Structures are given as C-alpha cells and as structure tokens.
Amino acid sequence: MRKTSMIVGILFLTASLSFAQSAGGGLSFFFPESLLEGSGSVSKEAGLSTSLGLGNFISIPVGFTYIKASGFMPYDETGDDDTLERIDDTIWYTADTFIPFLRLKAHIPLGPVFVEALGGVAGAWIVAPQTFDGAVGRYYGGVDQDVQYYILKKLETDISFGYGYQLGGAVGFTMDALSISIDTIFTDLRAETTLTSDNYYEAQNSGLTEGEKFKKTFTSRLRGISIGVNGSYAF
C-alpha cells in the first residue's frame, strides 16, 4: 500500500511539473446532506490539484481532497441499482476519505474578476470507517421478522473503492499569476459496503441464539456541499 501511494504521488508530481499550466490548493468545509436529518457534522476538507489548460476558457483540473467525513448514509438496494432505500443514519461515526477527481472547468474572465463552472467524476477511497455495531444489529433485527435484534461480537467493515460525480462553480479574482476564488461544489459518492461478524447472537422472543457468520452488503453514500477558498498559481 505504501509503495503504491509513493508511485501515485511521484506520477502526480511529474505530471504537475511537466504539463500543468497552474497548480494550487485550498481549504474548505463539507456540509453533508445528513445534517438535514440531524446527524453527521460539518468537516474540514483539504486538497491539492493541478490543472491542464485548453485555451483561455477551458481547463481540466485533476487532484484530490481529504475529509474526515461524518455523514455517510447507508442504503439497501431495491432491485434497480439507482433505487436506494435509506436504512439507518447512525451506523457511521466518521471515516477518513480521500476523493480523487477529474473535472472539466469553464473559466469566464470579467476583467480582474472571473466566474467558473465545473463538473466531473470523482472517486472515494474510504479508510478506517468507524461503525456503530449496535445500530447495525437493531436495523437488521427489524428487517428480519424472526429476530428482534443482533448482538455482534466483532464487526468488520469492508468498503470498496467508490465512485460518483461533482458539480460546482466559483467566483474570484486574479492578480498577475495568482488567482483566489470562493468555490462551491456538490459531491455525490457511493461505495459498496460489506459488514461481517464471525460470531453473533440473535435476540428472539425465546432468548438468545448463537450464530456463526453475520454478513450484510449495502451501499454507502456521501452527498453534500463543500464551500471553501482556493488559490492557484499559473506557470
């Protein structure tokens, strides 16, 4: 894992130095959709990016952001992959999340001021999610008619590399080669998630029954809006 990360970093730096017309970074805050339902919290988001210009008005930004996300919402799929039924928003505490992105951005200069619109694809590398096993046991106990709840001895979480999209815009100003902007970006990401426990108990009306393997698969989804300040320098 460490060797792979070093290779990716070297390739990213090489591409930045060789082809980029501008590079920069910024700081933003992520407001998850789950706040509307009283769960999750606002998180600080940081990132790095580089951009390949295609003329004066179009560019291709590539980079990544990091967020200690609090606001993942799990869904069960109901037949159609695009139809997701919300389950329990209390399953997650937080998860270290890296979001690599590739965007297409339109830049419209209005003197020293400019406005931008962007859209593109994004990934989700979710590291060390903290899971509330009690919420998992209660939810799936409510789904299974013969079980009141599950008691999970040791819950393991496996989340695949996720995918999704981003849309947004910015307004800012330019001073020589330096540009400062206020950016707003909507993010929608999803990743397949599998929860397992080698040993568990089923709580039924007749008492506790021990089981050997608990396994459930669903979709984890992260949606929200980032608002932040970003700077870039044109080479």
Cβ atoms within 10 Å, residue 123: 16
Low-confidence ranges of the chain (pLDDT < 70): 1-25, 77-90, 143-145, 235
Residue 20 has a pLDDT of: 47
Q: What is the dihedral of CA 40, 223, 72, 80, to 10 degrees?
A: 140
Query: Can you give the residue ranges of every domain in the chain?
Result: 2-234
> Can you give the pTM of this predicted structure?
0.77
How far apart CA 47 and CA 72 sit, in angstroms, is: 20
**DSSP 3-state of 39:** coil
What distances in angstroms separate CA 141 from CA 36, 125, 152, one per listed residue? 26, 29, 11
- Domain 2-234 grouped into CATH 1.10.287.110: no
165 HSE (CA, 13 A, CB side):
6
pLDDT, position 187: 96
CB atoms within 10 A of CB 60: 15
Residue 128's CB: how many other CB atoms inside 10 A? 10
Give the residue from 16, 81, 4, 44 showing the smallest Cα distance to 234: 16
